[in-house]
Amino acid sequence: MKVAIVGVSGAVGQEFLRVLDERNFPMDELVLFGSSRSAGRVYTFRGKQYTVKELKHNDDFKGIDVAFVSAGGGTSVEFAETITKHGTVMIDNSSAFRMDNDVPLVVPEVNPEDALNRPRGIIANPNCTTIQMVVALKAIEKVSHIKRVHVSTYQAASGAGATAMAELIKQYEQLLKGEEPTVEKFAYQLAYNVIPHVDVFTENGYTKEEMKMYNETRKIMHSDIEVSATCVRVPVMRAHSEATWIETERPISVEEARKAFAEGEGIILQDDPANKDYPMPLFVADKEPVYVGRIRKDISNPNGLTFWTVSDQIKKGAALNAVQIAEYLIKVKNIG
């Protein structure tokens, strides 16, 4: 098994190295790729040093079984053919191909078999907020079809990359010194603030991030589910939170929902509000599962249920989900 990481120097690229090691991913060879700026950097993986190669239009991907790509949508589009032309499976973390009909959009707990049909050799990794939500929704969908979702997200700085995380820390330091905070990665200062604006606004008043949650959820779940989202950036480092209201075809009791979540793949049930036990980003950072709590009936809707989820944006929201896709393909002997 020969593996490549494209964009290894970024926050998700670095997480790929950690996740592959933590999960003891089966591989015989690792090749790291980056921009001309990153080329020549050296990273250690499983006690061995690897030098980053510059990503170029050549035959460097010949013999590589799977490439984990997290270098931005423009790079993914430009190099997709170069990466896949010799049979490499490209698992892409950008939004470039997610809604293409001939590219599967996969969350292994929800629709792993979609990864087997990839005419272009590309599998898209969904948006981090969508991944987290559909893992939870899948558990309930097994009990009763979900017709409608309203969701409000509380998204960490990590969603905008390593430089955004660094900027948040820098802002707090500057403000404590009485200095003007640096504002480059976000529309406004994020420290001591929340910003109801993630990605660019579209003509309908929703942001691209919010529309991703609508479109991607329907594609992943093969469902007519309706999703209305409000995405908010909060001064948290790397775990996203979501408050979710769902409407199902038949009423679901809190007990049924708890049982469904407890049995759901990739989910940890943390729901004991009487003892102040519920998921929080401070404690979920660097963990693999999606944590679910605050489960209750929606008192405004007899067929409604509401709950709270938290998941690590860089792990399950990006690198881990991609690695799990590759693990599934290995398990069913579809690569390697």
Show which residues are catalytic: 128, 240
List, in order, residues 6 or more apart from 334 with CB less than 8 Å away.
115, 116
Alpha carbons 161 and 93: distance in angstroms, whole number = 13
Residue at token pair 């049924």: 256
Residue 12 assigned as binding residue: yes
Residue 300 assigned as binding residue: no
Residue 14 assigned as binding residue: no
> Exposed, middle or buried by CB within 10 Å (0-12, 13-18, 19+), for 121?
middle
Farthest-apart Cα atoms in the chain, separation:
60
By the 8 A CB rule, do 207 and 200 touch?
yes
Sheet holding 267-269, edge to edge: 226-233, 146-155, 239-248, 304-312, 290-297, 267-269
Query: Helix, strand, coil % (nearest 5) of the chain?
Result: 35, 25, 40
Residue 233 assigned as binding residue: yes
Residues paired with 291 in a beta bridge: 268, 310
Residue 148 assigned as binding residue: no
Residue 9 assigned as binding residue: yes
Residue 10 assigned as binding residue: yes
Residue 76 assigned as binding residue: no
Residue 11 assigned as binding residue: yes
Residue 223 assigned as binding residue: no
Residue at token pair 């050549």: 58
Alpha carbons 281 and 262: distance in angstroms, whole number = 20
Residue whose C-alpha is closest to residue 81's, from 118, 120, 53: 120
**Which residues contribute to the annotated binding site for NADP(+)?**
9-12, 37-38, 158-159, 313
**Which residues contribute to the annotated binding site?**
9-12, 37-38, 98, 155, 158-159, 233, 313
**Which residues contribute to the annotated binding site for substrate?**
155, 233
